[in-house]
């Protein structure tokens, strides 16, 4: 009797425990991953360890979630009407630019980036955007979350600009530093040729004053010789016996790019430019043209940043920590 009682007790125990064990193990048996409770890694203060960045806004520096900051950058830098693949490409280069500024190439000691597009990146408050465009841009950022561009294991200098006029520029032609992934490439922007062109007109006196020269003789003889860069911009231009770099003339004359021609006569001086911006890296209108033609965001990035890797596993929290 005692033996039968012990057997009955054991049967009851296993009969109760076995189903419980099977239920608790069902997630793993079925291949379902049950994530651990979120924790905040050292060096972060965002929810569940979300990486944060420092952003200089006018007179104060604020701390923002990286991905939410990027939503504002894409809204500020690229028309929300652009194709999703172009917006994704913009999100990746903006993320790469931001992380590089926070790590190896800071511009602001009190903040990694600022909202001045002439210095860092433009930023638009998402609260000021309509819900449809906001959702479209937020989706582009979310679909590329964590993705950055690297070259030989390091974040690249992910520069970008509005439009190229048909060809981008070598970094060395603009900033004097040669980077293997920032080389001149053709940019398919024929559909935007009209918006790509701009003219600046001035009197002969205004032209002379802007250059700090005293020019004499016929204005038609002032421009004597011109050399061009690999990207089709002006490398050097001899004006009245004084040799200027194309980047210098762009600044002195307030031009949209270094891809320009000058025509001078007794009636005045006309400067015609192609493209808008420094023309190094990704052309935003070129990205749009490629997206419309069926290119994916990774194909767009590979075209403008030759030899780079679209990195998924880079330790963003570690970089910012």
Window from 13-27, 91-105, 184-198 with minimum mean pLDDT: 13-27
Task: Determine the pLDDT at residue 315.
Answer: 67
Task: Determine the pLDDT at residue 317.
Answer: 60
Question: pLDDT digit string (tens) for 245-297?
Answer: 999 999 999 999 999 999 999 889 999 999 999 999 999 999 999 999 999 99
- How many whole angstroms separate alpha carbon 36 and alpha carbon 155? 30
Query: What is the pLDDT confidence band of residue 319, given thresholds at 50, 70 and 90?
Result: low
Question: pLDDT digit string (tens) for 144-166?
Answer: 999 999 999 999 999 999 999 99
Number of residues that this document lists for the chain: 321
- How many whole angstroms separate alpha carbon 249 and alpha carbon 272? 13
High-pLDDT (> 90) share of the chain, %: 73
In this prediction, residues 104-116 reach a mean pLDDT of 83
Helix (H) or strand (E) holding 236: strand 234-239
Bridge partners of residue 242, in order along the sequence: 239
Task: Determine the pLDDT at residue 25.
Answer: 33
Among 77, 204, 94, 189, smallest CA distance to 141 is for 94
pLDDT at 35 over 80: no
Cα maximum dimension of the chain? 128
Query: What is the pLDDT confidence band of residue 225, given thresholds at 50, 70 and 90?
Result: very high
Task: Determine the pLDDT at residue 50.
Answer: 65
Question: pLDDT digit string (tens) for 91-100?
Answer: 999 999 999 9
Backbone torsion region of residue 58, taken as left when φ is above 0, otherwise alpha when ψ lies between -120 and 50, otherwise beta:
left
Among 88, 254, 236, smallest CA distance to 173 is for 236
Indicate the DSSP class of residue 76: H
- How many whole angstroms separate alpha carbon 283 and alpha carbon 167? 9
> Which position has the higher pLDDT, 42 or 221?
221
In this prediction, residues 120-146 reach a mean pLDDT of 96
In this prediction, residues 215-234 reach a mean pLDDT of 94
Q: In whole numbers, what is the pLDDT of the chain averaged over residues?
A: 85
Query: What is the pLDDT confidence band of residue 108, given thresholds at 50, 70 and 90?
Result: confident
């Amino acid at each position: 009797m005692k033996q039968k009682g012990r057997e009955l007790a054991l049967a009851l125990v296993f009969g109760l425990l076995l189903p419980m064990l099977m239920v608790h193990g069902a997630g793993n048996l079925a291949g379902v991953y049950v994530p651990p409770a979120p924790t905040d890694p050292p060096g972060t203060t965002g929810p569940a360890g979300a990486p944060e960045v420092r952003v200089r806004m006018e007179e104060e520096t604020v701390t923002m979630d990286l991905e939410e900051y990027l939503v504002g950058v894409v809204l500020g830098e690229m028309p929300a009407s652009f194709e999703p693949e172009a917006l994704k490409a913009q999100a990746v280069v903006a993320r790469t630019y931001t992380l590089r500024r926070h790590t190896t190439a800071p511009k602001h000691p009190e903040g990694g980036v600022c909202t001045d597009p002439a210095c860092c990146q433009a930023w638009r408050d998402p609260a000021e955007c309509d819900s449809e465009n906001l959702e479209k841009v937020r989706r582009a950022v979310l679909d590329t979350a964590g993705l950055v561009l690297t070259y030989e294991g390091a974040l690249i200098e992910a520069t970008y600009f509005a439009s190229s006029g048909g060809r981008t520029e070598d970094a060395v032609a603009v900033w004097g530093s040669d980077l293997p992934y920032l080389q001149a490439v053709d940019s398919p922007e024929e559909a935007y040729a009209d918006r790509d062109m701009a003219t600046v007109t001035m009197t002969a006196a205004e032209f002379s004053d802007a250059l700090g020269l005293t020019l004499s003789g016929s204005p038609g003889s002032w421009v004597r010789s011109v050399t061009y860069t690999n990207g089709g911009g002006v490398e050097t231009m001899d004006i009245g016996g004084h040799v200027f770099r194309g980047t210098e003339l762009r600044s002195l004359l307030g031009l949209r790019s270094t891809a320009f021609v000058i025509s001078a006569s007794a009636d005045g001086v006309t400067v015609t430019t192609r493209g808008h911006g420094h023309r190094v890296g990704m052309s935003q209108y070129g990205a749009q043209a490629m997206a419309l033609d069926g290119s994916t965001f990774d194909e767009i990035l590979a075209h403008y940043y030759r030899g780079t890797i679209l990195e998924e596993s880079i330790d963003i929290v570690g970089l910012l920590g």
